[in-house]
Amino acid sequence: MDLGLAGRVALVAGASTGLGRAVAERLAREGADIVVNARSRETLEATAAEIARETGRRIVPAPGDVTSEQCCAELVKTAVGTFGRLDVLIANAGGPPPGGADAFAPESYRKALELNLMSTVQLALAAVPEMRKKRWGRVIAITSVSVKQPVEGLILSNTARPGVVGFVKTLSREVARDGILCNVVAPGFIQTDRLRELFDARAEKQGTDWKSVREQIAASVPMGRLGRPEELAAAVTFLASDAASYVTGHTFQIDGGLLQGLL
Ligand X SMILES: NC(=O)c1ccc[n+]([C@@H]2O[C@H](COP(=O)([O-])OP(=O)(O)OC[C@H]3O[C@@H](n4cnc5c(N)ncnc54)[C@H](OP(=O)(O)O)[C@@H]3O)[C@@H](O)[C@H]2O)c1
Q: Which residues are at the interface with ligand X (CB under 6 A)?
A: 13-20, 37-40, 43, 65-67, 92-95, 115, 142, 144, 187, 189-190, 192-195
- Terminus-to-terminus CA distance in the chain, angstroms? 28
Query: Toward ligand X, which CB reaches closer, 68 or 179?
Result: 68
Of 5 and 123, nearer to ligand X (C-beta) is 123
Q: Which is nearer to ligand X, 37 or 78 (CB)?
A: 37
- Shortest Å, Cβ 242 to ligand X: 25
The nearest distance, CB 155 to ligand X, in angstroms, is 13
Query: Closest approach of Cβ 212 to ligand X, in Å?
Result: 18
Of 112 and 175, nearer to ligand X (C-beta) is: 112
Closest distance to ligand X from the beta carbon of 30 (Å): 20
Under a CB-based contact definition with an 8 Å cutoff, are residues 48 and 73 in contact? no
How many C-beta neighbours within 10 Å does residue 256 have? 19
Torsion of CA 229, 142, 7, 37, to 10 degrees: -90
Residue 23 vs 128, nearer CB to ligand X: 23
**Helical packing angle, 41-55 and 18-29, nearest 10°:** 30
Residue 82 CA to residue 230 CA, distance in Å, equals 27
Nearer of residues 102 and 193 to ligand X, judged by Cβ: 193
Query: What residues form DSSP beta bridges with 227?
Result: 190
User: What is the nearest approach in angstroms of ligand X to the Cβ of residue 178?
Assistant: 27
Distance between CA atoms of residues 254 and 248, nearest Å: 16
Nearest residue (CB) to ligand X, 18 versus 162: 18
- Min. distance of Cβ 115 from ligand X in angstroms? 6
Sheet containing strand 88-91, edge to edge, reads: 59-61, 33-36, 9-12, 88-91, 137-142, 180-187, 251-254
> Which CB atom, from 86 or from 198, has the smaller least distance to ligand X?
198
Instruction: Work out how close the CB of 226 gets to ligand X at its nearest, in angstroms, rounded to a whole number.
Output: 7
Can you give the three-state secondary structure of 51-86, one letter per residue?
A: HHHHHCCCEEECCCCCCCHHHHHHHHHHHHHHHCCC
Letter for the amino acid at 86? L
Burial readout 15-35 (b: 16 or more C-beta within 10 A, e: otherwise): bbbbbbbbbbbbbbbbbbbbb
Minimum distance of ligand X from residue 18's CB (angstroms):
2
The total of other beta-carbon atoms located within 10 Å of residue 230's CB is 15
